[in-house]
Amino acid sequence: MGGLDLVITGGTVVTAADSYAADIGIKNGRIAQIGTGLAASERIDATGLLVLPGGIDAHVHLDQPTSDGTTMADDFASGTRSAAAGGNTTVLPFALQIKGQSLRACVEDYRRKAQGNCHTDVAFHLIVSDPTPQVLGQELPALVQDGFTSFKVFMTYDDLVLNDAQLLDVFEVARRERALVMVHAEGHDAIRHLTRRLESEGRTAPYYHAQAHAQIAEREATHRAISHAQLIDMPIVIVHVSGRDPMEQIQWARGRGLKVFAETCPQYITLTAEDLRGLNMDFDGAKYVCSPPPRDADSQAAIWQGLRDGTFDIFSSDHCPFRIDATGKDTPRARTSFKWVPNGIPGVETRLPILFSEGVSKGRISLQRFVALTSTNPARLYGLYPRKGSIAVGADADLTLWDPALSRPIRQIDLHHGCDYTPYEGMQITGWPVRTILRGRTIALDGQVCSEAGGQELSRATSEAFARD
C-alpha cells in the first residue's frame, strides 16, 4: 500500500458540521487519513490556516454564444483559471441548447471546448430551450442517464423562454428521470411590458434595466414555477434569487413541505440597483447589468437572513462575464437601449472571498454555514457528494487553504478572468484563499495559478433532492 504522498499539517479542518485541529494525509489524489502526527515525503504547513473543502461553484457560464454575436469574456481555460485562483476546485458550467439544435450535439460541443483546457474539475448542467418531442422523449432522458442530472429552464428571454405548457412538459420528464430542474424565474411578459413603457418614455440608460426586471416579475415567476413543480410533484431549484419578495415565495413553499431549493449570489449582498446609475446615468452602469438585477438594502438584509436561516441552500457566482467594451456590453445597439446590454457580470474568482469577508469575518454567518453554502450543499444537490464537498477519508483531496486574517482589496489587475473589469473593484476583503489543491495537486498558490490544465469532467449521480425523507 505504501505511505502517504502528501500531508497537510497544523491547520484547522473546517467542514459543514464542525472545526477541529488535524493533519490530512493524501494518497493517489484522495484523502487517505485524517489524524495527528502524520508524515509523508511532501508536507504543506497549514499552521494558522483553515483547511476547507475546495469551493464548488455550481453556476457559471463559460464560452456561451449569445444571440447578438457578442462574445463571452471567458472560455474554459480563463474561466477555470480564475475559479482556481479564487479557491474553487470544481465548477458547473452550462451546455446551452440553441433553438433547433440537438441537445446531444450541444453537449458534445461544450465538452470539446472544455476538454484539456480546465484548471478545475467541471460538470455540465444542460439548458433546455427547445423541448421538442425528440428532446423530451429521447435526448434528455438519455443524457440524464449519462450523468447530466440537472438542467436549467428560463421563464424569460426571447430565445430561451419556455411557456407554461412547455415548463409542465419538461417538469414531467425531469420527475420521471429524476433530474433536478434549475429555474430562471422572471416573468417574460411583465419584463417586456415594462421595457416597452420605459423605452417609450425615453428611459433607455442601463439604469432602467433594474426597473424593467422588477422584483414583482421575479416574485410572480417564482410562485408560478413553484406551483408547476407542486402540480407535477417534483423538486426544483430557484436560482439567483435577488430579494425579499421571491424569498417569501420560497418560504411559503417550504412551509407547505414542498421541495424547493434556493440559490443566491454575491451581487445580491453587495450591489444595489443604484449601482446601475453608473457615474451619472451613463453607460458605466452597464458593468452591473445582470438578471435578476441587484435590488436594495432591504433585500440585501433579507438575503443575509436567508443565508443564515437555511432559506438558501447554495451560494454561487452566476459568473457570466462580458467585457465593458465593443466586444461585450458596449455595442452600438446597447447604447440605444438597456434591453440590448448583455446580461451578466463576472464573479467566479471573488465569490468565496466576498462571502467569507462579508459573512464570516463580519460575524453574519458561521464557518460551517460558509462551507455548506459554497461546497457541501452544491455537491449534495448536484450529485457530486461525497466524492466532492467533504473532507473525509476516500473523498477527492480537493482542499482550499484559507488565511482568515489576510486583508486586501479586490482589484481587477489581480484577477485571472478574461473580463476587463470587476464590479467589486476596491472592496476590502478580510480572508483570502492562499492555496487551492485539486486531487492532491496545488493548482493555485498565493493568488497565482501554478499548474497545467489538469481538470477532469465529472459524471454526476442523481441529486439528493430526490432522496426520500
Indicate whether 153 belongs to the interface with ligand DUC (CB under 6 A): no
As a whole number of angstroms, the distance between CA 276 and CA 385 comes to: 38
**456 three-state secondary structure:** coil
Q: Which is nearer to ligand DUC, 184 or 369 (by Cβ)? A: 184
From 110, 94, 103, 96, select the one nearest 60 (Cα to Cα): 94
Per-residue contact flags (x/-) with ligand DUC for residues 269 to 308, judged by CB under 6 A = ---------------------xx-----------------
- Binding segment for Zn ion (CB under 5 A), chosen from 126-134, 306-314, 316-324, 461-469, is 316-324
Nearer to Zn ion, 184 or 223 (CB): 184
By a kind-dependent CB cut-off of 5 to 8 A, residue 60 interacts, out of Zn ion, ligand DUC, none, with: none
17-25, 95-103, 312-320, 386-394 -> range binding Zn ion (CB under 5 A): 312-320
In the complex, least distance from residue 431 CB atom to ligand DUC, rounded to whole angstroms: 26
Q: Which does 229 bind (CB under 5 to 8 A by kind): Zn ion, ligand DUC, none?
A: none
Query: Judged by CB under 5 A, which stretch of 182-190, 202-210, 282-290, 440-448 contacts Zn ion?
Result: 182-190
How many Å apart are CA 142 and CA 139, to the nearest integer?
Answer: 5
Report how far apart, in Å, the C-alpha atoms of 464 and of each of 150, 183, 287, 296, 411 are: 12, 17, 36, 33, 38
Q: Which is nearer to ligand DUC, 8 or 214 (CB)?
A: 214
Place of cell 458561521: 366
Least spacing, CB of residue 246 vs Zn ion, in Å: 13
**If we measure between CA atoms, which residue out of 408, 454, 432 comes closest to residue 90?**
454
**Strand order through the sheet with 4-9:** 30-35, 23-27, 4-9, 40-45
Nearer to ligand DUC, 94 or 402 (CB): 94
* Residues within window 175-234 making contact with ligand DUC, judged by CB under 6 A: 184
Q: How far is the CB of 239 from Zn ion (least distance, A)?
A: 6
Candidates 218, 318, 358, 398: give the one binding Zn ion (CB under 5 A). Answer: 318
As measured in angstroms, the least distance from the Cβ of 154 to Zn ion is 6
Secondary structure of 336-351 as H, E, C letters: HCHHHCCCCECCCCCH
The DSSP bridge partners found for residue 35 are 23
* Site string (340-359) toward ligand DUC, x via CB under 6 A: ---xx---------------
Question: Cβ closer to ligand DUC: 342 or 440?
Answer: 342
Q: Can you tell me the distance from the alpha carbon of 224 to that of 249, in angstroms, rounded to the nearest whole number?
A: 10
- In DSSP notation, 57-91 reads EEEE--S---TT----S--HHHHHHHHHHTTEEEE
Angle at the Cα of 343 from the Cα atoms of 60 and 331, rounded to 5 degrees: 125
Query: ∠ at Cα 39 (33, 45), nearest 5°?
Result: 95
Window 35 to 64, contacts with ligand DUC (CB under 6 A): 61
State the nearest-atom distance from the C-beta of 280 to ligand DUC, in Å.
26
Backbone angles phi, psi at 4, to 5 degrees: -80, 150
State in angstroms the smallest separation of the CB of 171 from ligand DUC: 19
DSSP-derived 3-state class of residue 366: coil
Alpha-carbon distance of 55 to 41, in angstroms, equals: 27
Binding map of ligand DUC across residues 357-396, x = CB under 6 A, - = no contact: ----------------------------------------
Residue from 30, 81, 113, 184 that binds Zn ion (CB under 5 A)?
184
Task: Look up residue 135 and give its DSSP letter.
Answer: I
Taking a C-beta distance cutoff of 8 angstroms, is the pair 225, 185 a contact?
Answer: yes
User: Which residues of this chain interact with Zn ion, rule CB under 5 A?
Assistant: 184, 318
Site of interaction with ligand DUC (CB under 6 A): 61, 184, 240, 290-291, 318, 320, 343-344
